[in-house]
Each structure stands twice: as structure tokens, then as C-alpha cells.
Amino acid sequence: MNKAFATTLVALASTLGAAAHAQSSVTLYGTLDTGLDYISNQKSANGGKSNWMMESGNVSTDRWGLRGNEDLGGGLSAVFDLENGFNIDSGKFSNGGDEFGRQAWVGIASKQWGTVTLGRQYDFLVDFVAPLSATGSGFGGNIADHPFDNDNLNNDLRMNNALKYRSATYYGVTVGGAYAFSNAAGGFSNNNAYSLGAQWAGGPFNLAVAYLQINQPGGVNQPANTGGAVSSSDGDAVFTGARQRVLGAAGRYTFGAATLGLVFTRTMLNDPHQITQGGAYSTLNGDLLTFNNYELNARYAITPAFTLGGSYTFTDGHFSTGGQSYSPKWNQFMLQADYALSRRTDLYLEGTYQHVTGANGIAVLGNASIYSLAASSSDRQAVVAVGVRHRF
């Protein structure tokens, strides 16, 4: 543990001890998830090989955090959240080694008007649309994300330098908006971002829509600005290029012990330069890259403790470069069985299968790649994971 991190922990512990004196609360929370995986095919020096491995965060990324609020009176509260991501199998930090790489923000909340926060935060695809998807709802999780997490429903991307507003909920409706500054003198739109969203909950129905735009994602274009809204140095930028736009909409219907969800997202990337595959950047220079993702998901609680779930995602892609056009398509299936040992601890068995067609020799698009696992050497990849998850 480095000295700076130890100092931070001491300061936070002091805050916990003093919380009760100002009508405040500070909550320590977290998730621990690890398991054993079988992967049908992964690239190696000797070609494609199957692999047995221990994998951190098959369903939920490992994290711990501190969330707090102070009652200011008059319906106002000061609020904050500091959240660290890590790999439970190695003990190392995630998010490029950032101390609070998942979230780090502070703000003011009003029961009547909503909440304004400043810092490192999620966009409204994560807040509103993702909870209605298999990857973002907590049951399918990480290995159910869409190819390359191109729409950010698996929240690989966070916004730095973000000013965010989320309204109070009236008649089931919540709206929000966020702007993330580039923090670059003379380069206001060099790696800045903004996001808008709305959700509605009424009886058994949930609906959501959201939009995200990032200008110069990753900040690698000249003049470089990797300290802007979406950084490439900590892995936030899934893509680098001139502009990334994502539009998403989703709906869910709950009937008895079952839920049924539909999700559509469209991602557009102008002048893509790099794409993240298997946890590392691969070069993909082109003019335009788009993904249309169509997802159907369902979940059924056979008993209060035992749940079955699944999803099917069809991703229709388009890539153009140098006058050539390609139409890669991904078919992905996920099935999961989950057994709750308690309110906080569960066991899961989950399998995901992905098949890619139409990439015509472009390896980074044509080699199947589930989540951040090493890509397949072919157009197919299957993952079967058995693991345990504990929340506190």
C-alpha cells in the first residue's frame, strides 16, 4: 500500500468516526466477485487454444467505496461517493491504477429539485438505460456486454471533470444532464463530453432513453489531451477518434416473478483510430464505424433464491476505410443460473457464446471477443464461468 493511499484511508476512517456529530452518514460498501472460467479459444503464440483460468468480476466488477451525506437543513444535503475498482485475484487496482477510478464526486442534493454533483461520474446511458439490459442490470453482468462495450452499457467509460444534474422524480419521471470539460486551454471541444437522459417507472413498466457524445475520445489527436473528459491512459476510452455518439433506448416489463426487457442502442464513431480488445488497444484506422445493438433479455425467479436468466444480442456493424466498406455482424447468447445463499452472497453459473461474420479479414472486428478476455483466434468464442459474489 503506497503512502498516499494509506493517508487517504486514515482520513476517511476519521470521517467515519465523526459522522454522527453532524447528522451525517457514511456507508462503506462493496462487491467481491471471482470464479473459474473455461474459454473455448484465445489467441496464443501457438495459435488459438482453450483456456482454464480464474477471473475476477465475471458478473460484477470488484469494488469498494464510501458513500455519504450530511443534512444541511431545509431539504438540502451534501453528498459524495468515492469508489475504487480492483482485481480480487491479484489485489491490483483497476482503471489504470486510479485510486478512485470508478467514481469520485461531491455535490448538493435537494429533495424537491434534484442533485448537482461534480467530479468523475457516469453518463446517463449507465444511469438509465443500462439497468434495463442484461449487462447493466446485475444479473448478466460483464460477460454479457455488447461487443467492445461499444454503447457503454457496461460502464467501461467514465466522464472526468463532469458537472451533472439529476432531477427529483415526479410522476415516475426522472431526467438528467451532464457536461464533462476538456480542461484544455484553447481546446474547449478537445476531449469534452455531454450526456442527456430520461427514465419513467410506472407499475410493471420501465422505460429509458439516453444520449452520449464525446468529442476527441481518448484525447490522442493532436494536440493531445489525455487529461480531458475521457482518458485513454486509464482505459476509459474504449475507442479513440474524432467523435463518438451513442443513442440508447430500453424498456422492461415485470409480471409476477419474471421480467422481459428490450434494448436498442446505436453507436457512431467518426475517424476511429483505436479500439479496445482484450484489455488493450488495437489499431483500427478508418472513416466511420457504427454499431446497432438489438437485445432481448429475460429473467425468472423459480424460487426466491434460485433465478434463471438469459439474453440474445444481435449487433449490426458497418466499417468504412479508404473507399472500402465492411459489414461485421455479431450474434451473442448468454444464459445464467444464480442461487442466493443469503441477501448478500450468491453463486452463479453463466455461459456466453459469440459468433462474428462479415468482417472479411479485419482481425480486430472479425475475431470473437467476449468482455475484456483475450480475443479468439477465430470468429467464435464461448465462455463458461462458475463463481461466487458477495456484496457488503
- Higher confidence at residue 330 or residue 8? 330
Residue 179 has pLDDT above 50, yes or no: yes
Q: List the domains of the chain with CATH numbers.
A: 27-391 (2.40.160.10)
Phi then psi for 129, rounded to 5 degrees?
-85, -45
- Mean pLDDT for 308-316 is 99
**Strand 49-56 vs strand 76-85: parallel, antiparallel, or unpaired?**
unpaired
Q: Which residues pair with 205 in a beta bridge?
A: 202, 253
Which tens digit of pLDDT belongs to each residue from 196-235? 999 999 999 999 999 999 999 987 777 788 889 998 877 7
Question: How buried is 73 (Cβ within 10 angstroms: 0-12 exposed, 13-18 middle, 19+ buried)?
Answer: exposed
The mean of the pLDDT values for the chain is: 93
Query: Who contacts 235 (Cβ-Cβ below 8 Å, separation ≥6)?
Result: 95, 96, 156, 276, 279
- SS3 per residue for the chain: CCHHHHHHHHHHHHHHHHHHHHCEEEEEEEEEEEEEEEEEEECCCCCCEEEEEEEECCCCCCEEEEEEEEEEECCEEEEEEEEEEECCCCCCECHHHCCCCCEEEEEEEECCCEEEEEEEECCHHHHHHHHHCCCCCCCCCHHHCCHHHCCCCCCCCCEEEEEEEECCCECCEEEEEEEECCCCCCCCCCCEEEEEEEEEEECCEEEEEEEEEEECCECCCCCCCCCCCCECCCCCCCEECCEEEEEEEEEEEEECCEEEEEEEEEEEEECCCEEEECCEEEECCCCEEEEEEEEEEEEEECCCCEEEEEEEEEEEEEEEECCEEECCEEEEEEEEEEEECCCCEEEEEEEEEEEEECCCCCHHHHCCCCCCCCCCCCCEEEEEEEEEEEEC
Sequence length of the chain is 392
Residue 22 has pLDDT above 60, yes or no: no
Residue 2 has pLDDT above 80, yes or no: no
Q: What is the pLDDT of residue 18?
A: 46
Which tens digit of pLDDT belongs to each residue from 110-126? 999 999 999 999 999 99
List the single range of 19-23, 26-30, 262-266, 346-350 with lowest mean pLDDT: 19-23
State the virtual CA torsion across 221, 222, 227, 231 in degrees, nearest 10.
10
CB atoms near residue 90 (< 10 Å): 9
Which tens digit of pLDDT belongs to each residue from 227-255? 899 988 777 899 999 999 999 999 999 99
- Binned at pLDDT 50, 70 and 90, residue 383 comes out as very high
Most confident by average pLDDT, 4-13, 37-46, 59-68: 59-68
Please tell me the distance from the alpha carbon of residue 294 to that of residue 331, in angstroms, as a whole number.
Answer: 10
Q: Is residue 109 a contact partner of residue 69, using CB atoms and an 8 Å limit? A: yes
Phi then psi for 185, rounded to 5 degrees?
-60, 125
Q: What is the pLDDT of residue 187?
A: 85
Q: What residue has cell string 473459474?
A: 36
Residue 370 has pLDDT above 90, yes or no: yes
Residue 8 has pLDDT above 90, yes or no: no
Q: What is the pLDDT of residue 138?
A: 84
